[in-house]
């Protein structure tokens, strides 16, 4: 289930759609000024994610993509003890040599950071 969460958000097209917990479906986006939208299930015209900047949304999608890759690679032989959920929660950057099949070059990110941009 967690793997599918990461896959969903890493591939979600936030430019065209917003999420509606009320209907349980995607809906056409009503505003192009916000990068990502989850509608409030009680106040249908309120965006719960209106304070997320474009850079934070893209960073979140990148992290979800990397987490999904890690879950996909869990079943392969590992060189290090850290893997799966523990690797996702404890890493400062994605270890490029964590898996024995380095020749596939799955990870194309040079470094990830754990910073969040604050907007006021």
Give pLDDT tens digits along the chain (120 positions).
788 898 999 999 988 998 888 888 888 888 777 888 888 889 888 888 888 898 999 999 999 998 888 877 765 655 556 656 666 666 555 545 444 444 444 444 444 444 445 454
Please name the residues in contact with 6: beta carbons below 8 A apart, sequence gap of 6 or more: 64, 65, 67, 68, 71
Which structure tokens are listed for 13?
Answer: 């097209």
d(CA 73, CA 99): 8
10: number of CA atoms within 13 Å, CB side? 14
Contact 15, 29 (CB under 8 A): yes
pTM of full prediction above 0.95: no
């Amino acid at each position: 289930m967690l793997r599918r969460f990461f896959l969903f958000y890493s591939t979600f097209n936030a430019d065209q759609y917003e999420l509606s917990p009320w209907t349980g479906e995607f809906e056409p986006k009503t505003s192009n000024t916000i990068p990502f939208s989850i509608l409030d299930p009680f106040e249908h015209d309120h965006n719960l994610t209106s304070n997320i900047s474009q850079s934070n949304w893209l960073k979140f999608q990148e992290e979800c993509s990397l987490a999904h890759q890690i879950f996909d690679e869990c079943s392969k032989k590992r060189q290090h003890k850290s893997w799966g959920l523990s690797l996702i929660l404890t890493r400062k950057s994605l270890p490029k040599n964590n898996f024995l099949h380095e020749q596939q070059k799955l990870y194309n990110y040079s470094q990830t950071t754990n910073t969040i941009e604050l907007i006021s």
